Amino acid sequence: MALTKDELLKAYRLMRTIREFEERVHVEFAAGEIEGFVHLYAGEEACAVGVMLNLTKADRIASTHRGHGHCIAKGVDVPAMMAEIYGRATGSCRGKGGSMHIADLDAGMMGANGIVGGGPPLICGAALAAKVQGTRQVGVAFIGDGASNQGTTFESMNLATVWNLPAIFVAENNGYAEATAADYAIGAGSLADRAEGFGMPAATVDGHDFFAVHEAAGEAIRRARSGDGPSFIECQVNRYYGHYEGDAQTYRPPGEAEAARANHDCLDMFAGRVTKSAGIEREELDDIDRAVAALIDGAVSSAKADPAPAASEFLTDVYVDY
């Protein structure tokens, strides 16, 4: 299905927002402004946005520890996300979650997740709820190459097939599970072959190519919506930064991330294609770049200025108030 110009500009804006967000968090973290564990999504933007442009707000996703991109693409408020990463009362989770637990159920975002493989069972549940309630919504579980080996992922793919759930499993294979190569840790020829073993169609796409992801995800999501069950997509991609901020990445060959950035960057690929063939001018993209930079600047300034959670918040929300 051909994308309209507005949709293409939206895709670019989302990818640029993720990139700008992550680049800025990288800088602020290095400057000591951000505490805790932070995992950046830079380089993988086309995966999140390619999938999410096929979803509605009511559709649900479960994310990973590397979740900022999924949140932004799913429509979580960007300043609230930044505030959460700074541990502020104004954050998505009122400062109680942090980078690894940003969630917004109203936006269909069931949470980044600190547990590798934590999300797929949850998405089976979201997809089951959609099926039981007859909403035609779908659930998308994002996993990495690390989680692709977890039992929860296998069990969930099996359950999704057994229950014929409107669930899509999107594996973002960035080549490394923390510091261990995917080639070492995945005991199968390909993730797609493995998924087919669970009885679902599977595709392998270039995760830097927004259009490839969008098309594969579109097909899987249409299939799920029409009641034809789960699908699997492997997006092969690069991460520009380490497993976590502060990771020296000595396990990677020198220049690997730089080469990906120079030769296979999702934003460059996207811009090149749409300015050649979709009637979009470079200036239109530059305008978006400027607007996004201002958005992220504003998000960082307000996050820095926002209040920490009140001491009274410490013990609240463990249980429901009767």
Partner 1 sequence: MARTLTILQAINEALDQEMARDSSVIVMGEDVVGGSGAEGEMDAWGGPLGVTKGLYGKYGDRMLDTPITESAFIGAAVGAAASGLRPVAELMFSDFVGVCFDQIYNQAAKFRYMFGGRAETPVVVRTMYGAGLRAAAQHSQSPYSIFTHVPGLKCVMPVTPYDAKGLLIQAIRDNDPVIFFEHKGLYETEGEVPEQSYSIPFGEANVVREGNDVSIISLGLMVHRSLEAAETLAGEGIQCEVVDLRTTSPLDEDTVLESAENTGRVVVVDEAPPRCSIATDISALIAQHAFDALEAPISLVTAPHTPVPFAGVLEDQYMPDAARIATAVRSVAGYA
Least distance from partner 1 to the Cβ atom of residue 135, Å: 9
Q: Which is nearer to partner 1, 88 or 239 (CB)?
A: 88
Helix intervals (H) in 235-281: 256-263, 266-277
Q: Which is nearer to partner 1, 120 or 242 (CB)?
A: 120
Q: Which is nearer to partner 1, 129 or 185 (CB)?
A: 129
Least distance from partner 1 to the Cβ atom of residue 110, Å: 6
Least distance from partner 1 to the Cβ atom of residue 146, Å: 15
Least distance from partner 1 to the Cβ atom of residue 309, Å: 9
Nearby residues of 15 by Cβ (< 8 Å), 6 or more positions away: 45, 46, 49, 210, 266, 267, 270
Which letter, b or e, does each residue of 143-175 get, where b requires 16 or more Cβ atoms within 10 Å of its Cβ?
bbbbbbbbebbbebbbbbbeeebbbbbbbbbbb
How many angstroms separate the CA atoms of 301 and 240, rounded?
Answer: 25
Least distance from partner 1 to the Cβ atom of residue 155, Å: 3
Binding site for partner 1 (CB under 8 A): 60, 62, 91-97, 101, 103-106, 110-111, 113-115, 118, 120-126, 128-130, 132-133, 139, 151-152, 155-156, 158-159, 162-163, 316-320
Q: Where are the beta strands (DSSP E) in 146-254?
A: 167-173, 176-177, 180-181, 202-206, 231-236
For the chain, the first-to-last Cα distance in angstroms comes to: 49
Short-list 80, 60, 57, CA closest to 68: 80
Q: Which is nearer to partner 1, 15 or 81 (CB)?
A: 81
Tell me the backbone φ, ψ of residue 60, rounded to 5 degrees. -120, 145
Least distance from partner 1 to the Cβ atom of residue 126, Å: 4
Residue identified by tokens 């009767």 is 322
Q: Which is nearer to partner 1, 2 or 132 (CB)?
A: 132
Least distance from partner 1 to the Cβ atom of residue 18, Å: 21
Q: Tokens for 117, please give them.
A: 């493989």
Nearby residues of 28 by Cβ (< 8 Å), 6 or more positions away: 34, 300
Q: Which is nearer to partner 1, 47 or 157 (CB)?
A: 157
Q: What is the amino acid identity at position 182?
A: A
Q: Which is nearer to partner 1, 229 or 242 (CB)?
A: 229
By the 8 A CB rule, do 20 and 296 touch?
yes
